[in-house]
């Protein structure tokens, strides 16, 4: 929560934050290698995001991206290190899929 409170701000009212998607239960009963969905042993999907407006200057965009990377780094010791296919972590480089924001599974 403390990291969310550090969001640097922008003109976009959606702001920045984190979403937790509960996994587990029946989906965890299927082996990870049985389907294309390899996150069968995860309990959560954690998605961090930030947003800015068209009129925000480069310094605001840079501050938001730095905040997002810092947020991801703060979570890193507590998560699996894998990234959900539909929300690929941009730090994984070009060609790895969409770059909508860092995610981790836990």
Residue 89: its pLDDT value, please? 65
pLDDT for residue 99 is more than 80 = no
Please tell me the predicted confidence (pLDDT) of residue 4. Answer: 87
Q: What is the pTM of this model?
A: 0.76
Question: Is beta strand 17-22 parallel, antiparallel or unpaired with respect to 44-49?
Answer: antiparallel
Residue 90 confidence class, pLDDT cut points 50, 70, 90 = low
27-42 pLDDT, tens per residue? 899 998 898 888 888 8
Give pLDDT tens digits for 18-75. Answer: 899 998 899 899 998 898 888 888 888 888 888 899 999 999 999 999 999 999 889 8
The CA-atom distances, in angstroms, between 14 and each of 17, 50, 51, 52, 54 are: 9, 8, 7, 8, 13
């Amino acid at each position: 929560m403390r990291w969310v409170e550090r969001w640097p701000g922008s003109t976009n009212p959606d702001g920045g934050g984190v979403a937790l998607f509960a996994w587990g239960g029946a989906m965890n009963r299927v082996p990870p290698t049985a389907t294309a969905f390899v996150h069968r042993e995860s309990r959560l999907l954690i998605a961090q995001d930030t947003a800015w407006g068209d009129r925000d200057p480069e310094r605001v965009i840079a501050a938001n991206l730095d905040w997002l990377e810092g947020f991801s780094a703060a979570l890193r010791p507590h998560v699996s290190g894998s990234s959900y296919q539909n929300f690929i972590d941009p730090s994984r480089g070009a060609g790895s899929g969409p770059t909508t924001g860092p995610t981790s599974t836990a």
